[in-house]
């Protein structure tokens, strides 16, 4: 193991210290390393004399007034594969079951309803155009046909406006929901 690897492990073990304290401790060990290296010692010899990063961290934490048993607790409770503690995994599970699923289901239902209004707006638009074309033919002309054609065109316009508005609402709601879900599960 090189000194840089040893130092990275020590830094990780000292993560419970405030940043300034952690940097002070790391600087102390860097100075010791540099002094020993200037006397011709190899990284392996220096590391052997300093000890493992875990033992140095345990010693430092106890000197600084932090509980050194945190290191061993963190190892026994954490999952080897993900690095998440059992409590974190259980907490994420309950947060998912109790919060994300119900709220997410409601938000997806809102998204689906927006999409349904969007589709119905398109259908009204198409039906209005067809009504504007077909009604004057069926009515045989005159004022009634003109009124029917006007109503058909108005329905078509309203339908197309609904389509565009709810298409955009659906699109941006979906984007926001995906970002929210991604952010929730990215932390976990």
SS3 of residue 14 by DSSP: coil
User: What confidence score (pLDDT) does residue 161 get?
Assistant: 92
Alpha carbon of residue 42 to chain centroid: 44
Instruction: Return the domain boundaries, the chain.
Output: 3-77, 86-187
Cα distance between residue 33 and residue 28, in whole Å: 9
User: What confidence score (pLDDT) does residue 144 get?
Assistant: 83
pTM above 0.85, yes or no: no
Put residue 17 in one of left, alpha, beta given phi > 0 → left and psi -120 to 50 → alpha. Answer: beta
SS3 of residue 128 by DSSP: helix
Cα distance between residue 156 and residue 182, in whole Å: 38
Integer Rg of the chain from CA: 34
User: What confidence score (pLDDT) does residue 70 get?
Assistant: 46
Cα distance between residue 15 and residue 23, in whole Å: 10
Q: What is the pLDDT tens value at each position of the chain, 188 positions in all?
A: 888 999 999 888 888 888 888 888 899 889 988 999 999 988 888 888 888 889 888 888 887 676 554 444 444 444 445 556 788 888 878 877 787 778 878 888 988 998 999 999 899 989 988 888 888 888 887 888 888 888 889 989 998 999 999 999 999 988 988 888 788 777 64
Q: Which residues contact 122 (CB under 8 A, 6 or more apart)?
A: 159, 160, 163
């Amino acid at each position: 193991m090189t000194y840089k690897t040893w130092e990275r492990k020590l830094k990780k073990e000292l993560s419970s210290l405030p940043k300034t304290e952690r940097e002070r401790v790391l600087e102390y060990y860097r100075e010791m390393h540099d002094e020993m290296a200037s006397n011709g010692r190899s990284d392996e010899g220096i590391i052997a004399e300093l000890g493992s990063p875990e033992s140095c961290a345990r010693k430092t934490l106890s000197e600084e007034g932090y509980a050194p048993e945190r290191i061993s607790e963190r190892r026994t409770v954490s999952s080897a594969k993900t690095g998440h503690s059992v409590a974190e995994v259980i907490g994420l599970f309950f947060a998912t079951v109790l919060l994300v699923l119900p709220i997410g289901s409601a938000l997806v239902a809102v998204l689906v309803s927006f999409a349904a209004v969007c589709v119905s707006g398109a259908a009204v638009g198409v039906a209005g155009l067809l009504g504007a074309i077909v009604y004057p033919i069926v009515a045989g002309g005159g004022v009634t046909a003109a009124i029917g054609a006007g109503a058909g065109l108005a329905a078509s316009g309203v339908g197309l406006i609904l389509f565009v508005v709810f298409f955009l609402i659906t699109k941006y709601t979906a984007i926001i929901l995906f970002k929210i879900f991604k952010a929730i599960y990215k932390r976990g």
